[in-house]
């Protein structure tokens, strides 16, 4: 049987190669390939090329596993393991020349529904930041050789990240929720890449993070990082716009966020 650490090693090697490709393509200039859910929700040629590379490498290394990628869809497997991949998370940052983008690769067992899978391994590799966050189930979360831990107390208020997504019709409601959260906050961050929001909570760089509308590939690797760093992670069923809610933080702040967001 394959161990989570073996899956972690595969994810790490492929994410590193994929990150080099993304970074090289960024240096050559970005071309927008299409818009997706809204005109602001873009995909670049590099997203597609990087996902194709990851898919190809995984097919060579793990031909019996399933695959679910943001850009190229899904394929079933026979092993019970599925790879969930965001080739470039933070595509808008990438297109605008901001360094906060990441390759996110996770291996999960069971369903590909975030409320049901068991995450086995996850890597969030940010090539322009020169940082690779990684975790295997039961083995902790790591940045290089540093073991990660979430923050536990926020006496001066919490540094909280969130995201607003690409659909303007949901922004007013999200800002209203944010106003309810503000009494907990020392300040707010909007990083623009959910995988990095999650990795930064795992690393104690953020105290907490919440967002509606994340997809499996945005969070599969990052949520394992938070779990393995001692945090709490919640996935709540979709609102009237079909957007599930993700909340992650240390245990104390998690509960405070949950109450303020959901009432």
Chain residues binding Ca ion by CB under 5 A are: 70, 86, 89, 91
Residue 234 binds: one of Ca ion, ligand IPD, none (C-beta under 5 to 8 A by kind): none
Residue 218 binds: one of ligand IPD, Ca ion, none (C-beta under 5 to 8 A by kind): ligand IPD
What are the tokens at 242? 């079909």
Nearer to ligand IPD, 82 or 93 (CB): 93
CB of 88 to ligand IPD, least distance (A): 6
Residue 163 binds: one of Ca ion, ligand IPD, none (C-beta under 5 to 8 A by kind): ligand IPD
Distances (CA, A) of 198 to 4, 201, 240: 20, 5, 25
Residue 14 binds: one of Ca ion, ligand IPD, none (C-beta under 5 to 8 A by kind): none
Residue 193 binds: one of ligand IPD, Ca ion, none (C-beta under 5 to 8 A by kind): ligand IPD
Gap between the Cα atoms of 219 and 197, Å rounded:
9
Sequence-distant (6+) residues with CB within 8 A of 62 are 10, 79, 81, 83
CB of 104 to ligand IPD, least distance (A): 8
Sequence-distant (6+) residues with CB within 8 A of 220 are 84, 104, 106, 108, 114, 117, 119, 122
10 Å Cβ neighbour count for 191? 23
What are the tokens at 128? 């322009």
Q: How far is CA 8 from the centre of its chain?
A: 16
Nearer to ligand IPD, 139 or 166 (CB): 166
Residue 231 binds: one of Ca ion, ligand IPD, none (C-beta under 5 to 8 A by kind): none
Nearer to ligand IPD, 213 or 231 (CB): 213
CB of 76 to ligand IPD, least distance (A): 23
Nearer to Ca ion, 151 or 195 (CB): 195
CB of 124 to ligand IPD, least distance (A): 11
Gap between the Cα atoms of 47 and 26, Å rounded:
11
> Can you give 72-90 as a three-state secondary structure string?
CEEECCCCCEEEEEEEEEC
Chain residues binding ligand IPD by CB under 6 A are: 70, 86, 89-92, 163, 165, 192-194, 211, 213-214, 218
Residue 213 binds: one of Ca ion, ligand IPD, none (C-beta under 5 to 8 A by kind): ligand IPD
CB of 83 to ligand IPD, least distance (A): 16
CB of 253 to Ca ion, least distance (A): 27
The percent helix, strand, coil of the chain (3-state, each to 5) is: 40, 30, 35
Length of the chain: 263
Nearer to ligand IPD, 54 or 62 (CB): 54
Gap between the Cα atoms of 249 and 212, Å rounded:
15
CB of 194 to ligand IPD, least distance (A): 3
């Amino acid at each position: 049987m394959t161990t989570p650490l073996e899956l972690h090693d595969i994810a790490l090697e492929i994410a590193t190669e994929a990150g080099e490709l993304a970074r090289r393509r960024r240096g050559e200039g970005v071309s927008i390939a299409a818009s997706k859910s809204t005109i602001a929700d873009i995909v670049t040629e590099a997203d597609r090329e990087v996902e194709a590379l990851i898919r190809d490498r995984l097919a060579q290394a793990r031909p019996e596993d399933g695959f679910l990628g943001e850009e190229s869809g899904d394929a079933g497997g026979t092993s019970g393991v599925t790879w969930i991949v965001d080739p470039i998370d933070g595509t808008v940052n990438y297109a605008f020349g901001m360094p906060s983008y990441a390759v996110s690769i996770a291996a999960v067992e069971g369903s590909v529904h975030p409320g049901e899978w068991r995450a086995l391994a996850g890597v969030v590799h940010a090539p322009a930041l020169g940082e690779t966050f990684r975790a295997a189930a039961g083995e902790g979360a790591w940045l290089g050789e540093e073991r990660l831990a979430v923050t536990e107390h926020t006496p001066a208020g919490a540094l909280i990240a969130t995201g607003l997504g690409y659909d303007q019709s949901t922004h007013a409601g999200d800002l209203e929720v944010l106003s309810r959260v503000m009494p907990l906050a020392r300040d707010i961050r909007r990083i623009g890449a959910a995988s990095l929001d999650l990795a930064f909570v795992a690393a104690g760089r953020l105290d907490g993070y919440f967002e509606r509308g994340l997809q499996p590939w945005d969070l599969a690797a990052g949520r394992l990082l938070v779990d393995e760093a001692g945090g709490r992670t919640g996935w709540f069923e979709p609102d009237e716009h079909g957007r599930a809610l993700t909340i992650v933080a240390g245990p104390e702040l998690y509960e405070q966020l949950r109450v303020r967001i959901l009432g």
